[in-house]
Amino acid sequence: MKTFLLLIELISGILLIASILLHSPKGDGLGSIGGSARLYNNGPKNLEEGLNRFTAIIAVIFLTTATALGFFF
């Protein structure tokens, strides 16, 4: 049981890191100085919403397994 929870923890941790890194940046950064950042900000919103949902699900799985490992073992 402990090995299974550790495996789920490891896989969900890697997936959580990857899904966070796949998100598009929210700020303009230094590109806003020239005003060109708004030209490239028309990405698909459905993809971003799906990625948000996937990240939330993976985060709940990660926190649940971390809590179970901390509580029982």
Q: Are 5 and 68 in contact (CB under 8 A)?
A: yes
Render pLDDT for 4-24 as a digit per residue (tens, 0 to 9).
999 999 999 999 999 999 998
Q: Are 65 and 13 in contact (CB under 8 A)?
A: no
CA–chain centroid gap for 59, Å, is: 7
- The pLDDT of 40-58, averaged and rounded, is 85
Secondary structure of residue 23 in the 3-state scheme: coil
The pTM of this model reads 0.77
pLDDT band at 29 (very low <50, low <70, confident <90, very high): low
Q: Are 69 and 7 in contact (CB under 8 A)?
A: no
Give the DSSP letter of residue 73: -
